[in-house]
Amino acid sequence: MSSTQHNLSSFSTDQQLSADIRIGIVVADWNQEITHSLLQGAQQTLLRAGLTSTQIVVKFVPGSFELPLGAQWLLENQQVHAVICLGCVIQGETPHFTFISQAVADGIMRLNIDYNLPVIFGVLTVNSLEQAKDRSGGMHGNKGDEAAYTAIRMIALQQACEK
């Protein structure tokens, strides 16, 4: 997702969703400068796809480690058809980067399977703040935007498979 070769930020929004669709977004406040830009990108994309703000539920958690539990609460209580998880983990001098990134990826994958609904991994795992900026509205697009697009595609796929 986050590479120089692969940038979905210039996708087309021809996939229109029905009026009863609700999408949750969980945002980690850690590295807020980055994650709130990811949120802006995701919200813009959902609105462009035809959702209204009442169809989008946004909740904040302290850090990326808390994203899976926040997503689970949305799935349990907010009747959402998908959840987008947005975070930014920056490589530091401690092994925290590896533990947090792995835990979040595992937790989010588990939710996908357990709830049979799309839970989107919109977490930047980068070496520097610079790389994070490039991917949250900079030269490599906005991965929040791409995460929202992925949610829309997966909801549409699920609906197509159910027909």
Could you list the active site residues? Answer: 96
Q: How far is the CB of 123 from ligand RBF (least distance, A)?
A: 8
Query: How far, in Å, CA of 15 to CA of 23, rounded?
Result: 15
Nearest residue to ligand RBF, by Cβ distance, number only? 63
CA distance linking residue 6 with residue 3, whole number of Å: 5
Q: Two tokens at 116? A: 């049979």
CA dist 15 and 81 (Å) reads 15
The contact set with ligand RBF (CB under 6 A) reads 28, 30-31, 62-66, 87-90, 92, 94, 96, 100
**Cβ 69 to ligand RBF, closest distance in Å?**
10
Q: How far is the CB of 61 from ligand RBF (least distance, A)?
A: 7
The span from the CA of 70 to the CA of 86, in Å, is 11
**Paired residues of 138 in beta bridges:** 141
Q: Which is nearer to ligand RBF, 66 or 145 (CB)?
A: 66
| Closer residue to ligand RBF (CB): 78 or 102 | 102
